[in-house]
Structure 1
Amino acid sequence: MRDTAASGKPSVERVDTAVYTVPTDTPEADGTLSWDRTTLVLATVRCGDVTGLGYTYGPAATAQVVHELLTGVVVGGSVLDVPRLNEAMHRTVRNAGRPGVAAQAISAMDIALWDCKSRLLGLPLVDLLGAARTAVPLYGSGGFTTYDDRQQERQLRTWVEDEGIPRVKIKIGESWGRCEERDLHRVGAARACIGNGAELYVDANGAYTAKQAVRVADRLTHHGVRWFEEPVSSDHPRTLAAIRVAVPMDVTAGEYGYTLAYFAHLLDAGAVDCLQADVTRCGGITVWLRAAALAEGHGLDISGHCAPHAHVHAASAVPNLRHLEWFHDHVRVERVLFDGVLDPAGGAVTPGPDGSPGLGLTLNAGRAERYRVG
C-alpha cells in the first residue's frame, strides 16, 4: 500500500467511474417531471488492494466532473481524512458551479472515500461512524402519477402486506397541479388500499401554487395524510413556511439541497417540520451528517431521500432520524447492480448485519454490464 509522503497515511491511488442506465419497469412521472430510465454514476477509489465505492443518481456528465475536476485533488490524499478531501473537492469546483452536477460528483466521491476508509479498517461504516440506533425505519415510496388504480394498489400492497412497511408515499400534483381531482381520487384509493394502520404520505414535487396547496391539504386531512412533501417548490422557503403554518400535516422539503447553506436557509425560514437531505446530492456522507446536526439544533428530525443503500449507515448514526425513503426506482437499480442489498421486511433495515466492511455493497459486474453506458 502506498503512503502519502508527508503524513505516512494510506493514500488514494486511483479513481475510476462507470455509468449505468436502467430502464424503469413502466413509464413514471411526478407532479413536474416524467422519465422512463434511471442513471446511476458509480465512483470508485483505490487504496492499495482496497477499493471503495460510492454513487449518485444523475446525468452521465457527472462522471466527467469526477475525472476533470475531482481526481486531481483526491489522488495522493489520505483516505483516512475524508473531511479534508471533501473540503478540497468543494473548493476545486468553485468556478464550475457547485450546486447540481458538481455536488453530485462530490457526493459520489465522498461516499466512496468513506466506504474505502471503513474497508481499510475492516469495519462496517456504521461502526466507524458510531451507531445511534440499531435499525433504520423505512417508508415505501413510488405511487407515480402515471399509475392507474391497479398499479398503485399492487405497489402499496407489496409494501404494506408483503414487506410489512407501515408507511407509504405517493406522488400528487399531476401535470403541475392541473389534475387536482385525480390527485385526490388517488389519495383516497391509497387510503382504502392500506387501511388505517399504515401512515400515508404525499409528494407534490413543487407542483402546486401556494393557495392551491392549502386547499388540497384541507381535503388530504380527510384521508389521514401525515406528510406533505414539497407542496410548493423548496426554492421559496417563506412560502413553504406559510403553508406549514396553515396546514395540520408535516410539511417537508430538502431533497434538492446541494449545499449546507441551503439547509440552513430552509431551517431559518421555519419552512419544514422534518428536513430531507439526499446523501448523493448534498456533498456525501460528510455533509449529510452536518445537515442532520443542523436539523437537530432546530429541534427537528431528518429523513434520508432516496438511494437507500447509500444512506443507511449514516442514517443509523444520527439520533434525530425519522426514516429513510425506500424509493421504488432506486431499490430496483440497487438490486440489479449490487450484491449486499438489504431486506426491508418489517419496515426497517439494519446496516452491516453480517459485519461486511464499508457499505457492505459490491458491484455485480455480470448483472451490471448490460446496463453500462459509460
Structure 2
Amino acid sequence: MIESVGASAYRVPTPVPEADGTLAWDATTIVVVTARADGRTGLGWTYTDASCADLVNGMLAGVVVGTNQLDVRSGWHAMQRAVRNVGRPGLAASALSAVDIALWDLAARSVELPLATLLGRVRDRAEVFVDANGAYSVGQAVRVGQRLAEWDVTWFEEPVSSDDLPGLAHVRARTSPDVAAGEYGYDLPYFARMVGAAAVDCVQVDVTRCGGYTEWARIAAVAAAHNRDVSAHCAPNLSAHIAVATPNFRHIEWFADHDRIESEFFTGVLDPGGGTVAPGEAPGHGMSLRHDTADRHRLR
C-alpha cells in the first residue's frame, strides 16, 4: 500500500549561460517526487517550474496514497481524472509524469525487479544521439534540410515548431533527413495528431512531460501502428529504462544540462560511454537521491 507521496523543487545554476535554438537560461529547475511503501522508496522527477511540486503535494498525492503500489496504471488514471479541471497539458502533465515514474520505480523495487524488466525489456541497450528547436520557418527548414542531405545528415529535429503539423509535413516531403518532433507533447492525442498528419518519421517523447512511463507505452504503440519510431527527449537516466522496453525505439537524446544535474543529484546514474546506455539489474531504476547535495539547491 502506498503510504506517502511528496515532491520538492530544486534550482540548479548552469556553469555558464546555456541556450538552444529558441531559448537561453542560466539555471534549471528539477522537481523530485518520492513515493513510499513497505519501507521502499520510488523516485521520479521532471524539469519544470517549482510550482509543480505544489501540484503534486496538493492534488496528486491524495489520489494515489492508500492504493496498491503494484497497480500503477490505476493510479495513473486516478491522477488523470484529478487534473481534468486544471488542464492536462503543461504543468499538470509534468506533475503526473514525475509521480507516475516514481510509482513505477516503487513497483519494481517492491518485486525486486529492474524497472526495464517490469516494463517489458526487449533490448539490452539504447543508442545515444546529441541534438533547430523549431527555430526555422518552413522555407528556411526546407533549404537547410536539402543542404543537410549533401552532408549525409539523417536526423532533422524540430525543423519548425512541433505545433506546426502542416509545416513539419511540408519539410518532411521535401527533404531527405528523417524529421523528428514531439518533445513538447503532453498527452497521447497530441502524438496521435502528429503521426496522423504524416508530419514526422520519428516522434520524440519526453517521459517527464508526456504522462510518465504509462503514457509513453501508449504513445509508442500509436507510433508503431503508423510505422514510426520513437526517440527519447532528455532526462536520460529515466528515459533509458522505458527505451529498452520499446520495440520501435531509436535513440536517447543525451542532454548535457540534465546529465550534469542527474549525476550530481542521484547515485546509480548510467554511463553513456561508447554511445549506448544499458540499464542495470538493481531493483527499480537503481537510483537514489543524494539529499545533502540536493538540499543545497532546494527551493521548496
Common fold by TM > 0.5: yes
User: What does residue range 343-354 of structure 1 map to in structure 2 within 5 Å?
Assistant: 343-352=271-280
CA-atom RMSD in angstroms: 1.0
Paired residue secondary structure (1:225): coil
The residue that corresponds to 1:367 in the other structure is 293
1:238 aligns with 2:155: no
1:335 aligns with 2:263: yes
Deviation at 1:224, TM superposition (A): 2.6
Q: How many pairs are equivalent?
A: 300
Residues 128-160 of structure 1 show CA distances to partners (whole Å, capped at 9, x for unaligned) of 122100111111x3xxxxxxxxxxxxxxxxxxx
Deviation at 1:313, TM superposition (A): 0.9
CA distance in 1, matches of 2:87, 2:252: 29
Deviation at 1:216, TM superposition (A): 1.8
CA distance in 2, matches of 1:131, 1:50: 23
Letter in 1 for 2:194: L
1:304 aligns with 2:197: no
TM-score, normalization: structure 2?
0.98
Deviation at 1:88, TM superposition (A): 0.8
The residue that corresponds to 2:25 in the other structure is 35
Q: 1:211 aligns with which of 139, 145, 161?
A: 139
CA distance in 2, matches of 1:367, 1:66: 22
Q: 2:253 aligns with which of 322, 325, 330?
A: 325
Paired residue secondary structure (1:28): strand
1:45 aligns with 2:45: no
- Note the residue ranges of structure 1 that are not aligned, 5 or more in a row: 1-10, 142-168, 170-203
Q: 2:3 aligns with which of 1, 4, 13?
A: 13
- Note the residue ranges of structure 2 that are not aligned, 5 or more in a row: none
Q: Are residues 97 and 336 of structure 1, via their aligned partners in 2, closer, same or farther at CA, if it must alter by over 3 Å? A: same
The residue that corresponds to 1:155 in the other structure is none
The residue that corresponds to 1:102 in the other structure is 92
Deviation at 1:59, TM superposition (A): 0.5
The residue that corresponds to 2:67 in the other structure is 77
Farther-moved stretch of structure 1 (107-116 vs 123-132): 123-132
1:291 aligns with 2:219: yes
Paired residue secondary structure (2:296): helix
1:255 aligns with 2:245: no
Residues 310-367 of structure 1 show CA distances to partners (whole Å, capped at 9, x for unaligned) of 1111111011110111110000000000000111111111112xx2110110011122
Residues 34-59 of structure 1 show CA distances to partners (whole Å, capped at 9, x for unaligned) of 10111110001111211101000000
Letter in 2 for 1:350: A
The structure number with the bigger radius of gyration is: 1
